[in-house]
Amino acid sequence: MKIVETPIPDLFVLEPRIFEDSRGYFLETYSQKALELHGLTMNFIQDNESKSEYGVIRGLHYQLAPYAQTKLVRVVMGTIIDVAVDLRRNSPTFGKHFAVELNSVKKNMLLVPRGFAHGFSVLSETAIVCYKCDGPYTPEAERGILYNDSQLGIDWQVNSEKALVSAKDKVYPSFSQAEMNFIYGKERE
């Protein structure tokens, strides 16, 4: 598995080796050993899956520390734009976002560490997204940032007239008004 650094510290794109033949294909979707060899340690405890249609935008979601979650996101079917926003104060990329196309052909993944807001938009007719989490969902720690906040300037690559956004995601605060308690280098605390 190839682990690719992004312009944002601690945020990685994972590119698995895909072995194809006349029967189909095989790949490792997760390797603790590969991550540890890159200095990345986490203990995933839960897998989640969502199915969405074209134009759905989910996010930007996170949980406050100490309930924050690391997520390993992959697409089983379809294509998405996956987005992570750095919420770690004192980070050289605080308030910056990274977006990557994840799809079921390349089978690439995004490793989103604690201290980031996460969201995605669906570009294909349908998408099935799976992600591992290293912590449980904790409702009282759940927070979010408005997906179309002009300060962040995220291009979801979905026509705004065709965007399907939950009522909850439409009323989250802007980045500048959002509650966050992450400090760069202390995401595990």
Q: What is the CA angle 20-26-30, rounded to 5?
A: 140
All domains in the chain, ordered by first residue: 2-183 (2.60.120.10)
Is 25 marked active-site? Answer: no
Residue of 54, 97, 118, 131 marked catalytic: 131
Encoding tokens for residue 180? 């966050």
Residue of 61, 97, 147, 172 marked catalytic: 61
Is 30 marked active-site? Answer: no
Quickly tell me which residue has 């060899």 as its tokens. 37
pLDDT tens sequence across 137-146: 999 999 999 9
pLDDT tens sequence across 47-79: 999 999 999 999 999 999 999 999 999 999 999
- Determine the average pLDDT of the residues in 148-162: 95
**What distance in Å separates the CA atoms of residue 65 and residue 135, rounded to the nearest whole number?**
11
